[in-house]
């Protein structure tokens, strides 16, 4: 009876805590394109996250999924079947969003500088449009 209650409590905790959501196919392609352009940010190493997933709750704790980490700790050693994958997906997701943030910040800064040049009349509207297009292309994933 206690085992059933513990299992139900662990499942409820897992549902409330959530698990790492894998990237969609489009997000994976976008991340790869940004990495190819040198914009990739690695806040968490996916390989390390997967390896730590072999330890009780390690992959989940590494990527900041503490609720899932506790559940995986309770279900260890069975959690080695899913925690390495969850850790890998969590690290990849963290890196994707960090990369997106970096790209948006850099692009916004360059466009802002370009707008300043236009306002100070150091470039023409035509030059502004040409340079802005280059910036858009540079920071485009595709």
pLDDT at site 16:
42
Q: Identify the burial level of 1 via C-beta atoms within 10 angstroms of its C-beta, where 0-12 means exposed, 13-18 middle and 19 or more buried.
A: exposed
Question: Of 82, 75, 134, whose CA–CA distance to 110 is shortest?
Answer: 134
Is the model's pLDDT at 15 over the cut of 90?
no
Of residues 9 and 96, more confidently modeled:
96
Of residues 71 and 12, more confidently modeled:
71
pLDDT tens digits for 123-135? 999 999 999 999 9
Q: What's this model's pTM, rounded to 2 decimal places?
A: 0.80
- Name all contacts of 76-84 with Cβ < 8 Å and 24+ positions apart: 79/53, 80/53, 80/54, 83/53, 83/54, 83/57, 83/58, 83/59, 84/49, 84/50, 84/51, 84/53, 84/54, 84/59
Q: Where are the domains of the chain?
A: 2-103
pLDDT band at residue 21, thresholds of 50, 70 and 90? Answer: confident
């Amino acid at each position: 009876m206690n085992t059933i209650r513990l299992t139900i409590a662990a499942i409820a905790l897992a549902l409330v805590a959530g698990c790492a959501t894998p990237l969609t196919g489009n997000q994976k392609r976008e991340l790869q394109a940004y990495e190819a352009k040198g914009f990739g940010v690695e806040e968490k190493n996916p390989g390390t996250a997967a390896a730590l997933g072999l330890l009780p709750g390690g992959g989940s704790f590494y990527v900041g999924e503490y609720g899932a980490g506790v559940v995986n700790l309770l279900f260890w050693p069975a959690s080695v079947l899913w925690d390495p994958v969850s850790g890998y997906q969590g690290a990849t997701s963290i890196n994707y969003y960090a990369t997106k943030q970096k790209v948006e910040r850099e692009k916004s800064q360059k466009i802002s500088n370009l707008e300043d040049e236009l306002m100070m009349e150091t470039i023409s509207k035509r030059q502004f449009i040409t340079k802005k297009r280059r910036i858009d292309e540079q920071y485009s994933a595709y």
